[in-house]
Amino acid sequence: QQQVKQSPQSLIVQKGGISIINCAYENTAFDYFPWYQQFPGKGPALLIAIRPDVSEKKEGRFTISFNKSAKQFSLHIMDSQPGDSATYFCAASGRFSGSARQLTFGSGTQLTVLP
C-alpha cells in the first residue's frame, strides 16, 4: 500500500515535444509528491514538488498534474530538450502509523530527447 507505480520505464521524445511520465499510488496518507531528476553518475536532484491541495504546479517547462480522486500524478516536460535526457523518479511522502515520515520512490523513467 506504500508503493508508487511509475510508467513508462523508458521514453523517447523528439526535441520540442512533450514528455509525460505518470505515477500512481494507493495510500491516501501520502501528502507530498516530489519529482527528482538524475543524470548519469550523479545523485538525484529535486525538480518540482506538489501537495494534494492543488491540482497543478508549474515551474518553467516542468508541470506536475495531480488527480487526487484517481490517486495519480504526472510530470509534463514542455518543449523537451536534449539536455533534459535523464532518469526521472516520482516519489511520495506520508506519515504512517508506527514509522517515521520518509519518501517512497517510483522505479524511474529513462528519458531520451532526440536532437
Partner 1 sequence: DGGITQSPKYLFRKEGQNVTLSCEQNLNHDAMYWYRQDPGQGLRLIYYSQIVNDFQKGDIAEGYSVSREKKESFPLTVTSAQKNPTAFYLCASSSGDSRDYGYTFGSGTRLTVV
Q: Which residues bind partner 1 (CB under 8 A)?
A: 32, 34, 36, 41-46, 49, 89, 93, 100-103, 105-108, 110
Cα–Cα distance, 38 to 85 (Å, whole number):
9
Q: Residue 63 CB, nearest distance to partner 1 (Å)? A: 18
> Which residue lies nearer to partner 1 by CB, 17 or 32?
32
C-alpha 92, offset from chain centre: 9
Structural contact between residues 23 and 3, judged by C-beta atoms closer than 8 angstroms: no
Q: What is the smallest separation between the CB atom of 56 and partner 1, expressed in angstroms?
A: 19
CB nearer partner 1, residue 18 or residue 46: 46
Unique residue bearing C-alpha cell 532526440:
114
